[in-house]
Chains A and B, each alone.
Chain A
């Protein structure tokens, strides 16, 4: 599961993936909405990893 945490690095640091204007969404060029879309996706991926791990033994 922890490998999911690497996806945002791949998706965002390999710039040729998304360095285009088209397709435009709600007036936003692809470059912009693609990167903004990674914000909720990253939150979701971290949440998935959080849920899958064994919780800390101590809960203060």
Chain B
């Protein structure tokens, strides 16, 4: 423990943390159902969340704590390029509106809990089910680790050091997720999101007022980037434009392939709930755009940080009284708990339904599924904690980046089947495999950068690896489907 603990901020922090902990345990009785008797209850909150609960839940787990730390950090480091999170979180909603209600209908009609369930139901392929499940679990683990990093940054800003505070916070989270399932993050999301809205609205009004208005904020950032040089600036350099657009599109297509976002979709009451949310969720995107600008405000406030991730906490400590800084840090830490809980539930659902039930105990009861999932959620969280504690932080960041390109490769298997039955499982499996291999190899050989370069003649194009891998994936899936159709004519496809 260091001497410069901010006691007021710490007291505010502990108050809010205790509040959500009580709520987390209480949640088991909220909109109550037999939480331990059916996976639909523990893992999907009873499939009954209406428009507002879904709005808070999906908003809470899609716009994570790490986003609040990392987006301003990237904008602070490179300028306009870091803003790709904005087009990404806008174009995702027309996609959600068009596709996710169809997915919900299939899942609702057949009682599917996970993406891999849907794939198995559509294609009757155990192989495709398994790779979708494993991709989901593997892509989610580093994402949970990232939430811990976000929480660690604010705990450090309060003045607490060492691993103990974060371990304690995570153990509490693990226990109430175990007992309450998806109801816990759904209830806590209300508190988290209202706190984040307050913090951001105060910050975007008060901070520029203290610093001389938005013109001063942008011009301070512009001066800093001019001095810094390189590929930084308020707008993009021409080679960055394709990278910017392809990162936005690729991330948008990947966003609702993750187990945690899909859990929010499957837990909705109706297809219309999802459509209304596609209209209402962009409110969070506006918030995200304003949060991103905190990165520029740091220049106007003359903040100097050792690590870019400290920009937001340092800005709040500099410009706000201790109690409000403590409130903001609590909002960010609680903001880490909601997605971490939903992610571990999504991963646990996949493990239970598509690995345990499919390979270990096919005759498992509904109550048995719920208890396997509860234990799996603990294992997933302990794994993420061990990851952060024992391995360098950079590993989690690198793996999360690869996770984004991996999860994107499940897109054809999950989405195409909603519109056409033309594709064959073998083709989709081959497309998945080549997409993952090419994408991973390319990212790896570029020093784990998300960008690939393609040279045609004298011009070279720089784009997001994940999107390139997806295009390859689709081409291979089409070719594979044609080839399989020639070798063996179509048999019965749908089952269950």
Contacts and interface: CB of A to CB of B under 8 A. Distances in A.
Physical interaction between A and B: yes
A4 to B, nearest CB: 8
Interface string B205-225: 000100001111110000000
Given A21-B235, A46-B278, A59-B270, A13 B91 contact: yes
Nearest to B275: A50
A9 B252 CA distance: 11
Chain A interface SS verdict (over half): helix
Contact of A27 (B97, B98, B214, B248): B214
| Chain A residues touching B, range | 35 or more
Interface string A14-56: 1110011100101111011001101110110111011000011
A35 B87 contact: yes
Given A5-B98, A14-B245, A15-B241, A35 B83 contact: yes
Contacts of A8: 90-91, 93-94
Chain B interface SS verdict (over half): helix
A29 B235 contact: yes
Interface in B75-102: 80, 83, 86-87, 90-91, 93-94, 97-98
Given A27-B218, A47-B279, A13 B235 contact: no
A39 B286 contact: yes
B80 A31 contact: yes
Contacts of A59: 270, 272
B245 A13 contact: yes
Interface in B269-319: 269-272, 275-276, 278-280, 282-283, 285-286, 289, 293
Contacts of A19: 235-236, 241
Interface of B: 80, 83, 86-87, 90-91, 93-94, 97-98, 208, 213-218, 234-236, 241-242, 244-245, 248-249, 269-272, 275-276, 278-280, 282-283, 285-286, 289, 293
Interface of A: 2, 5-6, 8-9, 12-16, 19-21, 24, 26-29, 31-32, 35-36, 38-40, 42-43, 45-47, 49-50, 55-56, 59-60
Given A27-B217, A29-B235, 17 more contacts: A6-B94, A8-B94, A9-B94, A13-B91, A13-B249, A15-B241, A35-B90, A39-B282, A42-B90, A42-B93, A42-B282, A43-B283, A46-B94, A46-B275, A46-B279, A49-B97, A56-B271
25 contacts: A5-B97, A12-B87, A12-B90, A13-B87, A13-B249, A15-B241, A15-B242, A16-B241, A27-B208, A27-B214, A27-B216, A31-B83, A35-B87, A35-B90, A36-B289, A39-B86, A40-B282, A43-B282, A43-B283, A46-B93, A49-B97, A50-B97, A55-B272, A56-B272, A59-B270
